[in-house]
Amino acid sequence: MTTIKGPAVFLAQFMGNTAPFNSLISICKWASDLGFKGIQIPTWDSRCIDLQKAAESKIYCDELKGLVNSYGLQITELSTHLQGQLVAVNPAYHTLFDGFAPENIRGNYNARTQWAVQQLKYAAQASKNLALNAHATFSGALLWHTVYPWPQRPAGLVETGFTELANRWLPILNVFDECGVDLCYEIHAGEDLHDGISYEMFLEKVNNHARACLLYDPSHFVLQCLDYLQYIDFYHERIRMFHVKDAEFNSTGKQGVYGGYQNWLNRAGRFRSLGDGQVNFKSVFSKLAQYGYKGWAVLEWECCIKNSEDGAKEGAAFIQNHIIKVTEKAFDDFATTNPNENFNKQILGLQ
């Protein structure tokens, strides 16, 4: 067993235009003052990191780490959620996702894909330069618009989609492997990798690639009515990252999983600040500790009701209180007997 590291915080939802959220220095001080021990960095925000420079300059990475460390923090992982989304985009979503790309390539979808792939490769090298061993991303989606089988899917459509998705990701996975970094897909609605079955289909297509790992976030499974605890039993060997995020699902006679096109506040399933939702985090932390999860517990704050600063303050304490310092001995060691093979055979009636 292993004691989980934390608490840490994903900066993406907190970066903004006003202090202390408008620079890496000021947000590091803010996070440290709240009791966080690590930060997860969104690589699309140039105020946090210059991704290409981090890939090309170990000196820059050492300076970046030094700045973060000076506030008593560590960089836990980098994230390319937005760039990963652009590795695979169905034409139905071209316009909606175009804002994730630089302005000069918007509308040029081939160039956008190439840019996204290069961003992931930069992230692999940057993670290596920062001495990180895991990285967060999305898979993107070619098939999501067919997630409900109406109209009926043509024979072979899913097979073709996952083959193409794997072809796009295999070269990226190989770069991460060369850099010694696990690429962790956040299993998430809107992605082709949105549950255990879809992840397994992808894993088969990438030949069970050792670096095709998982970011575990139970909130997404609450909204899918998926057993988020048994998921850990199934996939704990591939879980390398952990977003601590809460959610609730309150179906009614009028709406369920699909949400009736309502906004987050009015959906049956919605994300909540830690402790305000339905996730059984005591069991989540226990299972991850039981299976020897070696990574960080990272707050990803998303809530349609509570103020983000209150959510962060409460979240740091919440995670700290849920981290289990694992035992180094069995509770009944006081009653143990010294090992003796002859004695064991005597107990079993073998002599």
d(CA 304, CA 264): 6
Contacts of 156 (CB under 8 A, 6+ apart): none
- Residues linked to residue 131 through DSSP beta bridges, in sequence order: none
Q: Is 106:37 a contact under the CB 8 Å cutoff?
A: no
Phi, then psi, of 42 in degrees rounded to 5? -80, 120
Per-residue pLDDT of 74-100, as tens digits, reads 999 999 999 999 999 999 999 999 999
Q: What is the pLDDT of residue 256?
A: 97
Q: What is the pLDDT of residue 184?
A: 99
> Would you place residue 334 in the very low, low, confident or very high pLDDT band (cuts 50, 70, 90)?
low
> In terms of pTM, does the model score above 0.75?
yes
Report the pLDDT averaged over residues 317-338.
83
> Quick check: 335 pLDDT over 70?
no
> Quick check: 329 pLDDT over 80?
no
User: Where in the chain are the domains?
Assistant: 5-347
Phi, then psi, of 249 in degrees rounded to 5? -130, 115
Per-residue pLDDT of 161-219, as tens digits, reads 999 999 999 999 999 999 999 999 999 999 999 999 999 999 999 999 999 999 999 99
d(CA 277, CA 219): 9
Q: What is the pLDDT of residue 204?
A: 98
Q: What is the pLDDT of residue 106?
A: 97
> Quick check: 330 pLDDT over 90?
no
Residue % of the chain over a pLDDT of 90: 93
CATH node for 5-347 = 3.20.20.150
> Would you place residue 126 in the very low, low, confident or very high pLDDT band (cuts 50, 70, 90)?
very high
> Would you place residue 123 in the very low, low, confident or very high pLDDT band (cuts 50, 70, 90)?
very high
Q: What is the pLDDT of residue 341?
A: 87
85's tokens: 């989304």
Per-residue pLDDT of 256-298, as tens digits, reads 999 999 999 999 999 999 999 999 999 999 999 999 999 999 9
Beta-strand ranges (E) seen in 95-238 are 134-137, 182-186, 212-216
Q: Is 47:101 a contact under the CB 8 Å cutoff?
A: no
Which amino acid belongs to residue 196? Answer: G
Contacts of 94 (CB under 8 A, 6+ apart): 109
Q: What is the pLDDT of residue 226?
A: 98
What is the Rg, in whole angstroms, of the alpha carbon atoms belonging to the chain? 22
Per-residue pLDDT of 168-184, as tens digits, reads 999 999 999 999 999 99
Q: In terms of DSSP bridges, do strands 182-186 and 296-299 run parallel, antiparallel, or are they unpaired?
A: unpaired
> Would you place residue 125 in the very low, low, confident or very high pLDDT band (cuts 50, 70, 90)?
very high
* DSSP character string of 191-230: SS--SHHHHHHHHHHTTT-TTEEEEE-HHHHHHHT--HHH
> Quick check: 332 pLDDT over 70?
no
Query: Which range is least confidently modeled, 19-23, 172-176, 200-204, 346-350?
Result: 346-350
Per-residue pLDDT of 25-34, as tens digits, reads 999 999 999 9
